[in-house]
Amino acid sequence: MFRSGLLASVIVAGVGVTSPVLAQSTVYIPAILELSGAGAVSGTNFRDGMLLAIDEINAKGGILGRKIDTPLLDTQSDAGISRAQVQKVLDNKPFVILGPVFSGSVLVDMLLTQQAEIPEIVGGEAAAITQKGNPYVFRTSFGQQFSMPKIANYMRDGVKAKTVSVLWVNNDFGKGGRDTFIKEMNARDIKMVADISTESGQADFSADVVKLKGANADAIFVYLNEEESARFLREAKKQGLNKPLIGETTLLGQKVIDLAGEAANGVRGHVGLTVDAPIPAVQEFAANFKKRFNYACDHNGIKGYTAVYFIKHVTEKIGKFDSKAFAEAAHGITISPKDEPGILMEATWDKNGDIDRISFLGEVVNGKQKIVETLPKLGK
């Protein structure tokens, strides 16, 4: 399991030690990610997807003739450390910053990058990230305001639930998702019968499962981070919880399935990004990822991969390494795989930096995520 040879981490061992000669031939795009702590699954997937794209692009000559120089900085899944890391890289005048993934860290960091007028391509999904009028923040996954209506429709039309319990993680990601979900449930006259918060990094879910069993809702919406999702599913299986478990990508992701084992079978939900999408380019990416890193990629890997190609495409469009011009050009842009194959699926970024593209309904069957329906772009 010891993983070595991560090219980008080797390119620059210390932050800011780029020599003048190296600086002219490279473009400095640091990545600030959750490489340890509660967000390690998300951060390392994002990192590896990103590294795959960087190596592909660098092998073909880089962006506008300059190779991508991406030092990796660990937030330790802590918003304070994340902010300090962003402050550190801003001193070296980055072109764009990649990450972090945790919404709480993004919400803290994006104030700094906005002041510095440096675009930040983040993995956070909290609705609040793109609702603060910050023109320098972009994401390569759905925000909760895009995904929750789709889940709510599925609860009403697919599961036909009249009552719902919600189990959520008490951080910016979970709170944002829970608030948006409840709003959507109320709009559809679906009654909430239990509203259970859990802690980030929580290990024991036995009391939560007992409470969910007692609430006896028609369906349970689970909105936790990946590792907590796996622990919850194991406990739910252990206690014989037999209600439909519905979630988002963080419940149906491959890492969750790997960790939860057979306890993940039967879980259903909306997945904005998945390597099991019935799209050849996505499957080819997934195969390359697995070959290189020896584990199955989750949605965060796709976020990282497409983020780098998003940077490449926008930069080549503006024809220069100008951070401000990048941010202006990226709003309203639509990138199609025929113009930029690495983008994998056609995607549009709106005026807030939110992404719109097709998404999927999935179910875990025999330890594998199975896509049962493809949902169109919201803008169509």
Q: Which stretch binds other proteins (CB under 8 A): 95-103, 174-182, 197-205, 343-351?
A: 197-205
**Alpha-carbon gap, residue 147 to 155, rounded angstroms:** 13
Q: Are 37 and 76 in contact (CB under 8 A)?
A: yes
Alpha helix positions (H), 36-102: 40-59, 79-90
Task: Determine if 216 is a binding residue for other proteins (CB under 8 A).
Answer: no
Least spacing, CB of residue 218 vs other proteins, in Å: 19
106, 196, 279, 355: residue in contact with other proteins (rule CB under 8 A): 196
Q: In the complex with other proteins, which residue's Cβ is closer, 260 or 327? A: 260
The two structure tokens encoding residue 84: 């300090």
Q: Which stretch binds other proteins (CB under 8 A): 16-24, 82-90, 174-182, 256-264?
A: 256-264
Task: Determine if 251 is a binding residue for other proteins (CB under 8 A).
Answer: no
Q: Could you write out the three-class secondary structure of 194-253? A: EEEEECCCCCCCHHHHHHHHHHCCCEEEEECCHHHHHHHHHHHHHCCCCCCEEECHHHHC
Q: Are 227 and 38 in contact (CB under 8 A)?
A: yes
Least spacing, CB of residue 225 vs other proteins, in Å: 11
Give the residue from 64, 4, 42, 19 showing the smallest Cα distance to 320: 64
Task: Determine if 198 is a binding residue for other proteins (CB under 8 A).
Answer: yes
Q: What's the N-to-C CA distance of the chain in angstroms?
A: 44
Secondary structure letter of residue 86 according to DSSP: H
Q: In the complex with other proteins, which residue's Cβ is closer, 139 or 231? A: 231
Task: Determine if 260 is a binding residue for other proteins (CB under 8 A).
Answer: yes
Residue the block writes with tokens 């990610």? 33
Task: Determine if 367 is a binding residue for other proteins (CB under 8 A).
Answer: no
Exposure of 170 by Cβ count < 10 A (0-12 exposed, 13-18 middle, 19+ buried)? middle
48, 78, 109, 235: residue in contact with other proteins (rule CB under 8 A): 235
Task: Determine if 227 is a binding residue for other proteins (CB under 8 A).
Answer: yes
Task: Determine if 51 is a binding residue for other proteins (CB under 8 A).
Answer: no
Least spacing, CB of residue 247 vs other proteins, in Å: 18
Task: Determine if 44 is a binding residue for other proteins (CB under 8 A).
Answer: yes
**Alpha-carbon gap, residue 347 to 378, rounded angstroms:** 11
Least spacing, CB of residue 263 vs other proteins, in Å: 7
Task: Determine if 179 is a binding residue for other proteins (CB under 8 A).
Answer: no
9, 92, 170, 265: residue in contact with other proteins (rule CB under 8 A): 170
Return the bridge partners of 68, or none.
Answer: 27
Q: Which residues of this protein are in contact with other proteins, per CB under 8 A?
A: 1-3, 35-38, 40-41, 44, 170, 196-199, 201, 203-204, 206-208, 210-211, 213-214, 227, 230-231, 234-235, 237-240, 255, 258-261, 263
